[in-house]
Structure 1
Amino acid sequence: MGRGSQASIPQIDQRILQKLETHFVAPDIYRRGDLALRQSQLAHMVSDKVIPQLLRLHEEIVPEAPSVDAMIAALAPDRTDIAGLANIVLGDDLEAAVRYVIALRERGLSMETLFIELLEPTARHLGEMWDNDACDFIDVTLGVARLQKLLAAFNDTHSSDALDMRRTVLMAMTPGDQHFFGVTMVERFLEAAGWKVQTETAATADQIADAARTRWFAVAGLTAGSTQMIDSLAETIDLIRKRSQNPHIGIMVGGPLFSEDPSLVAVVGADATAPSAPAAVLVAQKLSDAASAHLN
């Protein structure tokens, strides 16, 4: 979908948002009780940063009457938008997050653009806040879970009867890889955000592919520690696609080599990469939504 396409804006009411809580947050993750403080911080952020930025954009863009492409580039989400959405999803008002995304959609940006330039970077931003001790694991989990809800709601997959069954991920390490930390962190965030995860940390390519054959998975996630793993990873992905019970399985890959060279995603035959564990949760939701579109 291009930047300028205008998909319909979903009609989302409070009952739907509350119902989604059972799908996108694990039972042992609870709501924070500091909503008033977060709303106050958000109000200051909007008044001090967002409104002045909008005024500057108005002054800079309207008089020159730039091309449509230039205007869209100027209005694309920036660090202020990302930080703003992060603050909203750290609170309890998901309706405010919906309105926030709608406002950006009304700039003329597609959901694909918003995923790449707003939602996934917001998940990364939450991970950075956690790394910097600006919030805790529960904060990040709830924030990422709400980003998942936004993505599912705007992609119209939130009302699927088979939503529970489809929220399944096969996580695996590329045969020969010895780096457990990355896959463990992704597994932890996925489970906290309501996904059912099966993890294979010492399996061969055949065993990983057979796991996808014997159980339906929406997404398979594989990690690779170095470029020496590329051939093995590509072989594993090819086997998964050939044997998977889900013919539309989405495959995401992770590891520093993909952050340094995103073109390697296509080289190994994957669909997407995620630069962090919180971002992997959102990428999994996006790939799951794509699979649901084929199945509905």
Structure 2
Amino acid sequence: MRTIESEVIPRLLLIHGVSPTAPRARSGVTDADVELLASHLLARSDDFVDEFVIDIEARGIDLETLLLDLLAPSARLLGVMWEQDLCDFTDVTIALARLQRVLRKMTARFESTEEWMPSGPAVLLSVTPGEQHTFGLSLVSEFFRRAGWSVVDELAETEEDVVRRVRQQSFTVVGFSLSGELLRDRLASVIKSVRKFSRNKNVGVIVGGAAFQEHPEWVSLVGADASANDGLEAVVQSQSLSQLLKA
């Protein structure tokens, strides 16, 4: 871990034109924007939500910032509002469905102006079987696609679904999301099966989600190689793993 933190990650960041010492600026998106989007998702029509997001895009904010500083915090805020009984399960479900739609439309607009040719290593991204929180995984997928990775999204319902996928195709990295403790042991079992049955015997495993933000010690407990707090970090960590596994 010291080698990854002190050597591998800084080199990768420099390659991609990012200073390894400077924090990523939250330019153009405010906490008020996040709160407004969350409230609009709960109370307004799809067209109103679209107009709100387009107005924010018009400030000249890039897709990375929109994903990390607007959509992801809005999803987290909806979760907090649910936990505090400020809205019910149905409200949150509808709001997250709207947020998924915003994500698809937003990335489609950016894709139409950029040359997207996935030619890099393959990554399998999946929720832990039984996990209900999937929006964060959608965000992470977009970051991998923008970095040139060949992405396979898998909303696996069982461990066998994941095993079948890693047997069918060779992946450089497999990533899982986990939101809480309830499915921790199941994730450990799935990761063990991935390493046993994967076509790539040197596959890297990365994890993310609220569970690992609250309990970073669980990363090794479930048998993963690394964790990430957001989509950008997931790509950097996976690139690091890819280089280390080649070595």
**TM-score higher than 0.5:** yes
Identify the residue that residue 257 of structure 1 maps to in structure 2. Answer: 211
Counterpart check, 1:194 vs 2:148:
yes
TM (norm. structure 2) is 0.58
Mapping of 1:74-223 within 5 angstroms? 112-115=5-8, 119=13, 125-126=23-24, 128-129=26-27, 132=30, 135-137=61-63, 167-223=121-177
* More divergent stretch after superposition (179-188 vs 164-173): 164-173
Alignment-mate amino acid for residue 167 of structure 1? P
What is the SS of the residue equivalent to 2:206?
strand
* In 1: Cα distance, 2:246 partner to 2:195 partner: 17
Task: Encode CA deviations 1:89-128: one digit per residue, 9 max, x unaligned.
Answer: xxxxxxxxxxxxxxxxxxxxx6641456895995994485
Please say if residues 225 and 255 of structure 1, whose CA atoms lie closer than 8 Å, have aligned partners that are also in contact: yes
CA deviation after TM superposition for structure 1 residue 232, in Å = 0.9
Runs of 5+ unmatched residues, structure 2? 31-55, 68-117
1:288 pairs with 2:242:
yes
Change (3 A) 1:166 1:215: farther
| 1:279 and 2:233 are equivalent in the alignment | yes
- Give the 3 Å change call, closer, same or farther, for CA 139–178 of structure 1 in structure 2: closer
The letter for the 2-side match of 1:170 is: L
Following TM superposition, by how much is the alpha carbon of 1:203 offset from its aligned partner in structure 2, in angstroms? 3.2
- Compared with structure 1, are the counterparts of its residues 219 and 114 closer, same or farther at alpha carbon in structure 2 (3 Å cutoff)? same
Amino acid at match of 2:62: D
SS at match of 2:201: coil
Q: 5+ residue gaps in structure 1?
A: 3-109, 142-163
Aligned residues: 164
Work out the CA distance in 2 between the residues paired with 1:124 and 1:269: 31
Q: What amino acid sits opposite 1:136 in the alignment?
A: D
Letter of the aligned partner of 1:286 in structure 2? S
Kept after mapping to 2: 8 A contact 1:186/1:278: yes
AA at the equivalent of 2:234: A
Residue 292 and residue 123 in structure 1: after superposition, are their counterparts in 2 closer, same or farther (change >3 A)?
farther
Closer, same or farther in 2 for the Cα pair 1:263/1:183, shift >3 Å? Answer: same
For the structure 1 residues 139 and 183, does the alpha-carbon distance in structure 2 shift closer, same or farther, using more than 3 Å as the test? closer
RMSD over aligned CA atoms reads 3.2
* Structure with larger RCO (C-alpha < 8 A, sep 6+): 1
Distance in 2 (CA, whole Å) between partners of 1:206 and 1:285 is 27
Measured in 1, the distance between the counterparts of 2:183 and 2:205 equals 16
Bigger drift between 127-136 and 217-226 goes to 127-136
Q: How big is each residue's C-alpha offset from its partner over 1:187-245, in whole Å with a ceiling of 9 and x where there is no partner? A: 01101110001111133111102211111100000001111110111011011000001
**Matches of 1:199 and 1:123, distance apart in 2:** 32
Which residue of structure 1 aligns with residue 221 of structure 2? 267
> Is 1:248 aligned to 2:195, yes or no?
no
What fraction of aligned residue pairs are identical, expressed as a percent? Answer: 34
Residues 150-175 of structure 1: CA deviation (Å, up to 9, x unaligned): xxxxxxxxxxxxxx876110100001
Opposite residue 113 of structure 1, the aligned amino acid is S
1:236 aligned onto 2:236: no
| Greater Cα radius of gyration, structure 1 or 2 | 1
